[in-house]
Chain A
Amino acid sequence: MTPTDRLRQMAARNPLRNGPQSVNRRAVLGGMAAGAAAATLPMGAARAQQEGIALLTWDAYADPRLLDMWRQETGVPVRYEIHISDPTSVNRLRAGETDVWDFVNLNNPWARNVLYPEGLITALPRDRFEPLYAQMFEKFAMPYHWALSQDESDLLGVVQRFETFDFVINSDVIDPATAKDEGWDLFNNPDFADRYGILAYEDWNVMDICMGAGIHPYKDKTEEDFAKFEETARRWINNAKMITTDFVQLNLAILNGEIDLYFTGGTYTASSARAEGATNIYAITPNSGPADGKGGINWIELNSAVASPKPRDATFDFLEWITTPDAAEIVARGNGNLQPVSQMAQDEVLSRFSAEELDAIQWDEFDERIANAVEFDIVPQYDRLYDIYSAAVRDRG
């Protein structure tokens, strides 16, 4: 099987193309079991059990194997919806959907800076959830900044998936060591005009263009910064060979020789192709950049309980359950996109991944990537930057 065939197979199982889950026999049986169990519970809890839990989440937690395992083990129904972007889901909760969702999985800054101060998520019992952090990498040792409220008194969620997300190259064309040294300047290099693609995860594109323009994405911008951003945005967008929301198309374009690199990307977009043998698709985190000397961006997903009016027992159970080795393993393999999880600090979890799988997520460079990346944050003046970016996309053609 050629790498192209394999990518087509992967495209077919791309979770983003699947709609919400349909009801299957197992779900029905699960629901019946939940109903039977609920008959023995007090009224409120019984209703919550019958309704199950609803996840507003990135794709890994929508993996059917994960949800089937949860239903089998607990009998509690579960349904989900995959995010479009962090801010979109934050605004949905603001618009009153706290009644609809029980579990929300967002990147690190939102819980501490927005969701908790606005009463959209609820604090977790520290005695139950803080010990989970002891089973993670050193980076997450308590008191862990992003998991705590601003006064550090409340625990807001459980960390699980984390990685850097910058750009991807064809290592047969560009030497990875050179790419790391050059960093974002690769996209400023006229030699690569018309030789790169853009994955239209547009909030990420804004941060990357900041990096390419020599601006710290997470600090206040001056008028001079906006001018630099606009010049870079227009040049990068006009020089792009293709812009798409589908990373499989970009990986195929690399394999077909149409492009040599693309942003935004990382092991999230490269790992499934690498796992199938296309190891020249190579995730790069720059060695340096304008963000306090760093050029990479490290996202950390935090799983939290929505401040739903329903009883939260099942949500808390789910939050704890996903950190168990069996569940964490599925999350790391979420829908075919291998991604590191915080529980891989445990040998019991790490040993479940083959050498090929670890190579697919470029595990040998993982610590280096994280060290060279600034932690993801809310972008100040995002609205103005996004308007410049989207105007540049419109003017492209």
Chain B
Amino acid sequence: MRPGPLFALPVAVFLAVGFAMPILIVAWYSLMAPRTFDLTTVFTLANYRAAFTEGYGQPFFWSLGLAALTTLTCLLIAWPTAKVLHAHAGRVATIATALVALPIFVSESVRLFGLSLFLMPGGGIFAGSMRALFGVSIGTILNTKFAVYLGMVYIHLPFMLFPVLLGVALIPPDRVEAARDLGAGRWQVLREIELPLALPGLVIGSLLTFVLCIGANAEAAILGGRAITVVTTAIEQRFNYAQDWPMGAALTMLMIAVTAAVVFPALARVDLNRLIRR
């Protein structure tokens, strides 16, 4: 036996047991009768039918829509930030990068509760300061859809910034200079030189952010006051209070399918080897 497959065996076993098997069990459960805990009843598509007929469209819409909007926003913020950080590499850029990276080490819930205290009306940090310093009474965006969006951008920006930074580093400065020498305008340089060269970083950052956002529910729970129900909350409700594992499993499988439908075509466009070699 060649050594390659042999060395791959432990990882393959790990992935089969830790990754493929749970998905298989969830897939199996999704085909069982609603509200059963038994894995041996007859197969049925009732849960999938219910997913399309019992108002789960809205949670899917919010999860996918917010994920797309957050990804786009993070991309728009991360690109100029990455360009500046790359152009001014040195002490200040390192400090700025560390400031963006450090919050990742703090639990997401803690950061969101912090933001919630900041945004609270009355005794909240922002509203209280405005009143104390300027005598201005302001309301709050807490418990609104906008607060959910803000929280998602706040939490996920670092996951976009670092791959984009890597992408920006892939752009050889001489190519940009050559393009300019040949008369390319700013917009042309961005569109025809920089974006195509940085594409692997942009795609990976976008995928990472999008996938994390689809699974996010703390923002809607802590900042949004459940102004919306995201699909992961709907799944959690089926598994917990409803004790309807098959329905929860069917929603989970649909989530996986939707995510795969977005991720695989995008991944096919990225030459990961090029990024790694760099």
Q: A residues near B, CB below 8 A?
A: 2, 4, 8, 11, 17, 84-85, 87-88, 91, 94-95, 197, 200, 202-203, 240-246, 249, 252, 255-258, 383, 386-387, 390-391, 393-397
The yes or no answer to B270 lying at the interface (CB within 8 A) is no
Docked pose: A165 CA to B59 CA in angstroms: 30
Minimum C-beta distance from A209 to chain B (A): 14
Minimum C-beta distance from A11 to chain B (A): 7
Q: Which residues of A sit under 8 angstroms from B142, Cβ to Cβ?
A: 242, 258
Contacts A8-B117, A244-B221, A255-B122 given: A395-B226 contact, CB under 8 Å?
no
B121 touches A256 (CB 8 A): yes
Minimum C-beta distance from B62 to chain A (A): 7
Question: Interface 1/0s, chain B 109-129, versus A by CB < 8 A?
Answer: 100010011001111100000
One of B123, B140, B229, B241 near A203 (C-beta < 8 A): B241
Minimum C-beta distance from A392 to chain B (A): 9
Docked pose: A60 CA to B237 CA in angstroms: 24
In chain B, positions 115-155 with a C-beta closer than 8 Å to chain A are 116-117, 120-124, 140, 142-143, 145
Docked pose: A240 CA to B177 CA in angstroms: 58
B120 touches A252 (CB 8 A): yes
Q: Which residues of A sit under 8 angstroms from B117, Cβ to Cβ?
A: 8
Chief secondary structure at chain B's binding surface: loop
Instruction: List 17 interface pairs A-B (beta carbons < 8 Å), by A numbering.
Output: A4-B123, A11-B113, A85-B240, A197-B225, A242-B225, A243-B226, A249-B222, A255-B122, A258-B122, A258-B142, A383-B35, A383-B242, A395-B58, A396-B227, A396-B228, A397-B58, A397-B145
B228 touches A258 (CB 8 A): no
A91 touches B243 (CB 8 A): yes
B226 touches A393 (CB 8 A): yes
Q: Which residues of A sit under 8 angstroms from B226, Cβ to Cβ?
A: 200, 242-244, 393, 396-397
A202 touches B124 (CB 8 A): no
B240 touches A88 (CB 8 A): yes
Docked pose: A245 CA to B236 CA in angstroms: 13
Complex: chain A residue closest to B50, CB-CB: A387
Docked pose: A91 CA to B58 CA in angstroms: 29
Instruction: Report which residue of B54, B120, B143, B229 has the largest number of chain A beta carbons within 10 angstroms of its beta carbon.
Output: B143
Q: Which residues of A sit under 8 angstroms from B145, Cβ to Cβ?
A: 397
The yes or no answer to B169 lying at the interface (CB within 8 A) is no
One of B35, B225, B243, B244 near A243 (C-beta < 8 A): B225
Number of interface residues of B (CB under 8 A): 35
A2 touches B122 (CB 8 A): no
Minimum C-beta distance from A150 to chain B (A): 23
The yes or no answer to B28 lying at the interface (CB within 8 A) is no
The yes or no answer to B10 lying at the interface (CB within 8 A) is no
The yes or no answer to B56 lying at the interface (CB within 8 A) is yes
The yes or no answer to B173 lying at the interface (CB within 8 A) is no
The yes or no answer to B55 lying at the interface (CB within 8 A) is yes
One of A87, A246, A252, A255 near B243 (C-beta < 8 A): A87
Docked pose: A294 CA to B59 CA in angstroms: 37
Docked pose: A394 CA to B59 CA in angstroms: 7
Docked pose: A242 CA to B227 CA in angstroms: 7
Q: Which residues of A sit under 8 angstroms from B109, Cβ to Cβ?
A: 17
Instruction: Report which residue of B58, B142, B227, B241 has the largest number of chain A beta carbons within 10 angstroms of its beta carbon.
Output: B241
Docked pose: A386 CA to B54 CA in angstroms: 13
* Top 9 A-B residue pairs of the complex, sorted by shortest distance between their CB atoms: A242-B225, A256-B122, A243-B226, A397-B228, A4-B123, A202-B241, A242-B143, A394-B229, A397-B227
Complex: chain B residue closest to A201, CB-CB: B241
B225 touches A241 (CB 8 A): yes
Contacts A258-B121, A394-B229 given: A88-B234 contact, CB under 8 Å?
no
Docked pose: A396 CA to B221 CA in angstroms: 13
In chain B, positions 229-278 with a C-beta closer than 8 Å to chain A are 229, 234, 237, 240-244
Q: Which residues of B sit under 8 angstroms from A394, Cβ to Cβ?
A: 55-56, 58-59, 229, 234
In chain B, positions 56-95 with a C-beta closer than 8 Å to chain A are 56, 58-59, 62
Minimum C-beta distance from B210 to chain A (A): 21
Contacts A245-B221, A249-B116 given: A396-B240 contact, CB under 8 Å?
no
The yes or no answer to B37 lying at the interface (CB within 8 A) is yes
Docked pose: A333 CA to B96 CA in angstroms: 46
Q: Which residues of B sit under 8 angstroms from A246, Cβ to Cβ?
A: 222
Minimum C-beta distance from B272 to chain A (A): 35
Minimum C-beta distance from B63 to chain A (A): 12
Docked pose: A11 CA to B112 CA in angstroms: 13
Q: Which residues of B sit under 8 angstroms from A257, Cβ to Cβ?
A: 121-122
Docked pose: A243 CA to B121 CA in angstroms: 17
Docked pose: A394 CA to B242 CA in angstroms: 14
Docked pose: A197 CA to B143 CA in angstroms: 11
Minimum C-beta distance from A278 to chain B (A): 11
Q: Which residues of A sit under 8 angstroms from B240, Cβ to Cβ?
A: 84-85, 88
Complex: chain A residue closest to B238, CB-CB: A390
Docked pose: A256 CA to B55 CA in angstroms: 34
Complex: chain A residue closest to B247, CB-CB: A387
One of B122, B222, B242 near A387 (C-beta < 8 A): B242
B228 touches A256 (CB 8 A): no
A386 touches B62 (CB 8 A): no
Minimum C-beta distance from A27 to chain B (A): 24
Docked pose: A8 CA to B240 CA in angstroms: 28
One of B54, B124, B225, B241 near A244 (C-beta < 8 A): B225
A91 touches B37 (CB 8 A): yes
Q: Which residues of B sit under 8 angstroms from A245, Cβ to Cβ?
A: 221
Minimum C-beta distance from A3 to chain B (A): 8
Minimum C-beta distance from B241 to chain A (A): 4
**Inter-chain pairs besides A202-B237, A241-B143, 10 sampled, C-beta below 8 Å:** A87-B241, A200-B226, A202-B241, A240-B225, A241-B225, A242-B143, A244-B226, A383-B35, A394-B59, A397-B62
Docked pose: A258 CA to B234 CA in angstroms: 26
One of A85, A249, A252, A256 near B241 (C-beta < 8 A): A85
Q: Which residues of A sit under 8 angstroms from B229, Cβ to Cβ?
A: 393-394, 396-397
A395 touches B55 (CB 8 A): yes
